[in-house]
Every structure is written in C-alpha cells, then in structure tokens.
Chain A
Amino acid sequence: EAQVTQNPRYLITVTGKKLTVTCSQNMNHEYMSWYRQDPGLGLRQIYYSMNVEVTDKGDVPEGYKVSRKEKRNFPLILESPSPNQTSLYFCASSLASGSPYEQYFGPGTRLTVT
C-alpha cells in the first residue's frame, strides 16, 4: 500500500530535550516536505526536499532541522524544542515531475512541548 508514515503519532516532551520525528514514504517520491498545522493559521511549510541531499527552507524553518540522506526518509529534528513548537506536524511526499504538487500526506504527529 502506497503510504507516508510518521513516528511517533503523539509526543509530549519538555523544553530543550532534542527530538526527532521520522517520516518515510514507499512511493519512490523525489519530493518530501514538512508542515505544521496551527489553529487559524492553516498549514505552514517548514522545510522541503527536492531529492537526496537537497533541502530548502519553507515559511517557518526557525527551530527545525531536516536531513535527506535516503530517498524514502525525511526526518524532522527539533534540537531544543520550545512551547511555541507545540503543534500538529505533517510530512508529505510527491513526484517531482508529472503532477508534482499533488502531495501525499502522512497521518500527522501531535507534539506537545511543556
């Protein structure tokens, strides 16, 4: 089954404790992206990657890091989480040709930073 998986689905952590949210897709997609969803703000793009070792900032990259060492994986790293990073996070992937903007989204990771 074609899918984007995220782990963990739920995470409660404390300020400053480094964490990683993993994202994996099995569709051989070149493009992957991370978003956060906040009430009244919709989805905002954090980082995206056009292919292995190619990443770029979205609209809200501050406080986040990403890496793309393998095509299927695109982890989101919070080196020192803060309460304003409490949010619902989505990973997405798509082809980089054809209909490149029709992204497949993962189920989401709800992060709470206390």
Chain B
Amino acid sequence: DQQVKQNSPSLSVQEGRISILNCDYTNSMFDYFLWYKKYPAEGPTFLISISSIKDKNEDGRFTVFLNKSAKHLSLHIVPSQPGDSAVYFCAAMDSTSYGKLTFGQGTILTVHP
C-alpha cells in the first residue's frame, strides 16, 4: 500500500524553464512534507519542506505547494538548471507518529542545456 506516490517516473525540461514535480498521498494524518534530491552514488539531501498549516513554502528557486483537499503537493523549480538533474523524492510524516517517514518512488529530473 503506497501511501505516497510520485506517478511520473521521469521528467525532462529545458534549461531555464520551469520543472514541476508532483506527489500524491493517501493518508490524511500526514501533516508534514519534505522533498529530497539525490544524485547518483550519493545519499539524498534535504531540499525543502512544508507543514500542513501552510499551502506554500519558497526557498530560492524552489517552491513547494500543498493542496490538502486534493492530498497533493508539488515542487516547482524556476529556472531549472542542468545541475538540478537528479532523482527527487517526496516524503510525508504524521507528526503524532514522530520519526516514521514515508517516501514516494522518486522522479528522475533531467534538465537539458
């Protein structure tokens, strides 16, 4: 039972354009969401997070949007750069079950120069 789903295994965009990565969840108890980026042969690195009390969080070129009614979040990267090419994982947590983190399957982003 996949509670966090990233339905697009891959995404290809042109440098300078917007990248939009999507994530859906089914557990209504999830109240904290994160995005991680992973390069080959490295561990994931934290990118950005959002609490369920917000619907948007921005950090430089990265913005995460949360639509609680649709149980959907998205990561926008503007403008996209070739160095953004990586696997992106979304993750979710129910803060009452502190420490238990559920990840999606990941989306491979390729940004072409």
- Residues of chain A touching chain B, judged by Cβ–Cβ distance below 8 Å, are 4, 31, 33, 35, 40-45, 48, 50, 56, 58-59, 90, 92, 99-108
Contact = CB atoms under 8 A, between A and B. Distances in A.
B43 A42 contact: no
Given A41-B105, A42-B6, A42-B105, A103 B99 contact: no
A2 to B, nearest CB: 12
B34 interface: yes
B43 A33 contact: no
A108 B34 contact: no
- Per DSSP, chain A at the interface is strand
Contacts of B63: none
Given A102-B34, A106-B43, A107-B42, A42 B103 contact: yes
Interface of B: 4, 6, 32, 34, 36, 41-46, 49, 89, 91, 93, 98-106
A102 B45 CA distance: 9
- Per DSSP, chain B at the interface is strand
A105 B44 contact: yes
Given A42-B6, A101-B93, A50 B99 contact: yes
Contacts of A43: 44, 89, 91, 103, 106
